[in-house]
Amino acid sequence: MQRIFEDFLAAADAAVGLIASEQVAARWGEASALAGFTVGGLAAHLGWQVQSADLALGAPRPGPGAAVTGLLEHYARAAWVGAEPDAAVNVGIRDAGEERARAGAGQQAQLTRAAREECAAVLGSPGFEPETVIAMPWIEGRAMSARDVLTTRLMELVVHGDDLAVSLGVATPQYPGSAFETVNDLLVRVSAARHGSLAVLRALSRAERAPASIAAF
């Protein structure tokens, strides 16, 4: 199985473990470490990253000649990138997570676990490759390579897995080193697109000349 497939499934397993934990169930309605999200809303948002991957992998394949969106173009077109926390697009994301959280911890864990298994079946099927073009049904008209779709989901799983672990006061899951490499590479590339390569260079190598922020999002 390809490395991006393995890393995504490992991160999905970590998400299931967090969502199904006693700590999450006990603190479902409490505020999380991510402003505007309850623990339950954040857990549901984490689970959605696996569930949305399942939707993409299970959707009808785009027809021949479909326009394929690249990874950086995907983020360049995302309204939430660089938006303030109280911007409508970010409020909508949090509201969607809180709405999904209404189903409860047990249901969210079950949905995420089932989605993970469905993803594993597709990713392990003969002929399915990282460059296979798939749709992103939650974004009308968006088609990307499986590698890039899973990279977007992996980033969300790793970042929000850390958010949820911090919210609970537990250790952040130990994701594979290659998963961190993929996520960090993506964040650097998005950051450079937003702030410029020189700003990223200085932030990573020269503290005395580092800009105030090179946040990717």
Q: For residue 170, give the H/E element and its range.
A: none
User: Residue 18 has what pLDDT?
Assistant: 97
User: Residue 39 has what pLDDT?
Assistant: 98
Q: What is the pLDDT along the chain (217 residues), one digit of tens a residue?
A: 699 999 999 999 999 999 999 999 999 999 999 999 999 999 999 999 999 999 999 999 998 778 899 999 999 999 999 999 999 999 999 999 999 999 999 999 999 999 999 999 999 999 999 999 999 898 888 899 999 999 999 999 999 999 999 999 999 999 999 999 999 999 999 999 999 999 999 999 999 999 999 999 9
User: Residue 126 has what pLDDT?
Assistant: 94
User: Residue 2 has what pLDDT?
Assistant: 94
Look-up of token digits 């999002």: 217
User: Residue 64 has what pLDDT?
Assistant: 77
* CB neighbour list of residue 54: distance below 8 Å, 6 or more residues apart: 115, 116, 118, 119
Enumerate the domain spans of the chain.
3-170
Its sign, for the CA torsion 167, 171, 177, 179, is: negative
Helices (H) and strands (E) in the chain, counts: 9, 2
Decide if domain 3-170 falls under CATH 1.10.287.
Answer: no
Q: Which structure tokens are listed for 28?
A: 């479902």
Q: Tell me the residue ranges of DSSP E strands in 12-151.
A: 133-135, 143-145
